[in-house]
Amino acid sequence: MGKTLFSRAVLGLVALWLLAQVQAFSTERMQADLQALQSQGPRVAGTPAVAAAGEYLAAELRKAGYTVEYFPFTYSRTRDQGSSLVVGSTSFPVNSVSGSPSRRVEGPLAVVPGAGLADDFAGLNLQGRIAVVRRGGIPGLEKARLAAEKGALAVILVTEEPSSTRFTFGGSSPIPGVTLSRSNGEGLFSQAGDRAVLETRIVTEEVQGRNVIAKRSSQNPLAIVGAHYDSVPGSPGANDNASGTATVLELARQLAPSPLSERIWFMFFDGEEDGLWGSRRFVEQNPELVRGLKAMLNLDMVGVDVNGSLGIGGSNELRALADCNALQVACGSAPGGGSDHVPFAQAGVPVLFFFRGLDPNYHRPTDTLADPVLLAQTGQVVRGILERLLR
């Protein structure tokens, strides 16, 4: 065997070995993980289902050789127990806006003209009335405050969104607020003076959440790879976000034998769907650890190919480490917000957000499918970035 031929053979073997490494993501194992995560039903923060999912993750991570710690935290969540609006003898399908007080009010309807901007409230007398106003232009909370200043008892926000969409004031409103889709609520703009009864029935509950953290070293990590494992009520949360969870879990298994795993924490966040509570509380309570991070990589909704590519958003320097071409993965861009990387980014940590887009089953009972092949592709890209960043 000639020398050239020999080195070619060696190169060939190295290439095969590299390929084997890349293919080491086990789609069978991830399929089993996806099933295990969905088997308990919706993993709503604070419920036994999410607790069981957390225990599954902990057991799998321990099996892979990690030390597992729970990071418990609390927050309060409001729940609509069925709010209602009756005008004359007609009922309307309303949703309370999160941040509303729980109250029953009765009075004539009053219409706020135009787009319902601050100027549109000028000169209105809303005393003892229920204000009907279009949503948008200025924050809903500002509309509620303006209406309350004019004496309104409550505010009905007519929205362009479907009636299932839930809104939040992002703070507490002095008067109850409900939303109504335009198709159901447009008629109210011509019913000024009609008698209405509006009731918001809202309870506040304390939620106990729990992040799951896997590590191999007692030292602070240089990188965190994370995914939220909770889901919304009524949805099995396959793509959102058993997909990211199973990918991070499999990545942790693969990296366990490598020294790299001593510099990474694998984190599974709870309470994401209620407002990024798991990541926010962790960042708040670990300022020093967070300051030492070179990267936080977050995976959310990576199991359905919505856009024909893997969206990667965040730090350009980190993004440049993604070797999508060599891995033959189509990569695109992702939006900046909306998931657990945000509190880290706000604390100054370079972040990347891996996201394949909102699929039609998003937050629905039909969110039952995630493709392990797409998970494997995502995991390979994430792994490549970690190898380049930390080697």
**Which residues between 247 and 306 bind Zn ion (CB under 5 A)?**
300
CB of 141 to Zn ion, least distance (A): 25
Least Å from the CB of residue 102 to Zn ion: 28
Query: Which lies closer to Zn ion via its Cβ, residue 240 or residue 270?
Result: 240
Task: Write the CB contacts of 129 (distance below 8 Å, at least 6 apart in sequence).
Answer: 107, 108, 109, 110, 151, 152, 153
Hey, what are 338's tokens? 């909306």
**Shortest separation between residue 371's beta carbon and Zn ion, angstroms:** 17
Nearer CB in complex with Zn ion: 140/357: 357
**Dist CA 269 CA 258 (whole Å):** 24
Q: How far is the CB of 277 from Zn ion (least distance, A)?
A: 13
Closest separation between CB of residue 169 and Zn ion, Å? Answer: 22
Give the nearer residue to Zn ion in terms of CB position, either 80 or 240: 240
Give 134 or 280: the residue with its C-beta nearer to Zn ion: 280
Strand partners, 223: 264, 295
Give the shortest CB-306-to-Zn ion separation in angstroms.
13
Q: Does 359 bind Zn ion (CB under 5 A)?
A: no
Q: How far apart are CA 255 and CA 262, in angstroms?
A: 9
Whole-Å CA distances, 216 to 143, 208, 322: 51, 26, 25
Q: How many Å apart are CA 204 and CA 182, to the nearest integer? A: 28
Cβ distance to Zn ion smaller for residue 179 or 241: 241
- Whose tokens are 């080195």? That residue is 7
Would you report the helix, strand and coil content of the chain in percent, each value rounded to 5?
35, 25, 40
Amino acid at 91: S
- Per the document, the length of the chain is 391
**Which is closer to Zn ion, CB of 80 or CB of 274?**
274
> Residue 181: which H helix or E strand, with range?
strand 177-181
Q: How far apart are CA 240 and CA 301, in angstroms?
A: 5
C-alpha separations of 202 from 32, 101, 199 in Å? 38, 7, 10
Q: Which is nearer to Zn ion, 54 or 140 (CB)?
A: 54
Distance CA 72, CA 64 (A): 23
Q: Which of residues 212-241 bind Zn ion (CB under 5 A)?
A: 240-241
Least distance from C-beta 39 to Zn ion, angstroms? 19
* Number of residues engaging Zn ion in binding (CB under 5 A): 3
Q: State in angstroms the smallest separation of the CB of 300 from Zn ion.
A: 4
300 contacts 240 by C-beta, under 8 angstroms = yes
Question: What is residue 389's three-state secondary structure?
Answer: helix
Whichever of 241 and 279 has its CB closer to Zn ion, that residue is 241
- Cβ at position 301, least distance to Zn ion in Å: 6
CB-side neighbour CA atoms (13 Å) of 85: 26
- Token pair, residue 325, equals 């071409």
Name the residue nearer to Zn ion (CB basis): 264 or 342: 342
**Which residues inside 306-335 make contact with Zn ion, applying CB under 5 A?**
none
> Which residues in this chain contact Zn ion in the complex, by CB under 5 A?
240-241, 300
